[in-house]
């Protein structure tokens, strides 16, 4: 389109046109007129965020980015390792941190976790369950296993990988049963449930002599200070908050506690390398679009700005293009613990 040509319509009254910036470079301008709330059609309503509008009889649905990421991560791990383990790996000193070693590191993690169980056949409640790989091993060891899993997609994988387990497709907060269990197992699922609910409900589900096994990441005090200046690698409950909750429950006695932060931390760098690879591919595609298809590129960038907030775009750029998610940063801001709690 020559300079000075009338703007081209994208949709409705939205317009896009080329012009020159202050440095003489050709750029594309997009004009999106603001809507007057009074102009909404009868029966339409505006959501609290002021962005989505629905008519009567329709529901505005939020994109479930966590589910998309989970499905993609599961497919990637299956491709790399041949199994569907979603947890961290346990890395030995000197072990190469690369995709070829991920399967071995995850198997070492599972072996360390299962060593916390008594040798006799047990009734185990696997809370979270992942894709059923841990339950599959527990069944092979002669245990009876129930899995509580809120994700329909993961519940389906649990049925495929651990067909001998009883699958309860719901959140742990909604799980109710008269059965009692020798072990309530949280393998990287404790962080998704409020601390008090997780401890109290698990304790109530224990058979006499039963135990709660927790393997998960907890945020240190340094994490919350660092979050003031940007995203921080890691996750989980605040460690101090968790320890206060345990202190308030003297009936739960800590009989085992191992800090494996140093051994799991390299998993973060492997994940970062994967995202950087995707980021590089996207950057190259963006460069080619800028050279050969500037109008289409401008439209794609416009859609991205409309679909993601500035904060989410910044976080996505950090994940794809930076290298802030390092093993050292993980060690500084998190504690990864394996614990056994028994009824006193």
Per-residue pLDDT reduced to its tens digit, 277-305: 889 999 999 999 999 999 999 999 999 99
| Higher per-residue confidence, 86 vs 158 | 158
| pLDDT tens column, 23-76 | 555 555 555 555 554 444 444 444 433 334 433 344 445 556 566 667 777 888
- Count the domains in the chain: 1
Exposure pattern of 197-235 as b/e (b: 16+ CB <10 Å)? ebbebbbebbeeebbbbbbbbbbbeebeebeeeeebbbe
What's the confidence (pLDDT) of residue 53? 41
263-282 average pLDDT score: 90
Q: Does residue 325 lie within any of the structural domains?
A: no
Of residues 143 and 17, more confidence is placed in 143
- How confident is the model at residue 2, as a pLDDT? 46
| Residues sharing a CB contact under 8 Å with residue 106, sequence separation 6 or more, in sequence order | 81, 83, 85, 87, 88, 89, 90
40 is a domain residue: no
> How do 144-149 and 123-127 pair as beta strands?
parallel
**254, 339 contact by CB (below 8 A):** yes
Greater pLDDT, 13 or 157: 157
Residue 160 lies in a domain: yes
Q: What is the pLDDT of residue 206?
A: 98
Q: Is residue 267 part of a domain?
A: no
In a domain, 186, yes or no: yes
| Average pLDDT of the chain to the nearest whole number | 83
pLDDT for the residue 26 = 53
Domain that holds residue 130: 87-260+335-343
CATH number at residue 103: 3.40.50.150
Dig out the tokens for 275 from the structure.
């995202």
34 within some domain: no
pLDDT band at 138 (very low <50, low <70, confident <90, very high): very high
Reduce the DSSP state of residue 152 to 3 states and report it.
helix
Residue at 54 is within a domain: no
pLDDT band at 219 (very low <50, low <70, confident <90, very high): very high
210 in any annotated domain: yes
Separation CA 163–CA 147 (nearest Å): 11
Of residues 310 and 147, more confidence is placed in 147
Supply the pLDDT for residue 80.
Answer: 83
Question: Above pLDDT 70, what percent of the chain?
Answer: 77
Q: Give the Cα separation of 122 and 206 in Å (integer).
A: 12
């Amino acid at each position: 389109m020559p300079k000075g040509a009338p703007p081209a319509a994208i949709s409705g009254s939205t317009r896009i046109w080329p012009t020159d910036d202050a440095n003489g470079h050709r750029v594309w301008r997009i004009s999106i007129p603001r809507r007057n709330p009074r102009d909404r059609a009868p029966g339409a309503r505006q959501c609290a965020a002021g962005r989505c509008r629905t008519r009567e009889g329709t529901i505005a649905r939020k994109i479930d980015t966590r589910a998309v990421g989970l499905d993609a991560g599961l497919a990637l791990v299956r491709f790399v390792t041949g199994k569907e383990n979603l947890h961290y790996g346990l890395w030995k000193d000197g072990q190469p941190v690369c995709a070829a070693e991920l399967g071995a590191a995850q198997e070492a993690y599972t072996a360390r976790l299962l060593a916390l169980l008594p040798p006799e056949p047990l009734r185990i409640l696997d809370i979270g369950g992942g894709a059923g790989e841990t339950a599959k091993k527990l069944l092979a060891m002669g245990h009876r296993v129930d899995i509580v899993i809120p994700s329909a997609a993961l519940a389906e994988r649990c049925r495929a990988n651990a067909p001998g387990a009883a699958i309860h497709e719901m959140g742990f907060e909604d799980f109710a049963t008269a059965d009692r269990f020798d072990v309530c197992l949280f393998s990287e699922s404790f962080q998704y449930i409020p601390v008090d609910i997780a401890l109290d409900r698990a304790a109530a589900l224990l058979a006499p002599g039963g135990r709660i096994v927790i393997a998960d990441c907890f945020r240190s005090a340094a994490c919350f200070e660092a979050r003031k200046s940007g995203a921080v690698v890691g996750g989980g409950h605040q460690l101090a908050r968790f320890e206060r909750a345990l202190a308030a429950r003297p009936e739960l006695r800590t009989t085992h506690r191992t800090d494996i932060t140093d051994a799991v931390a390299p998993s973060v760098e492997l994940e970062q390398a994967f995202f950087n690879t995707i980021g590089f591919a996207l950057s190259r595609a963006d460069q080619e679009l800028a050279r050969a298809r500037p109008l289409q590129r401008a439209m794609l960038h416009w859609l991205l700005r409309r679909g993601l907030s500035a904060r989410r775009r910044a976080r996505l750029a950090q994940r794809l293009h930076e290298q802030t998610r390092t093993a050292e940063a993980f060690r500084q801001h998190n504690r990864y613990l394996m614990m056994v709690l028994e009824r006193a």
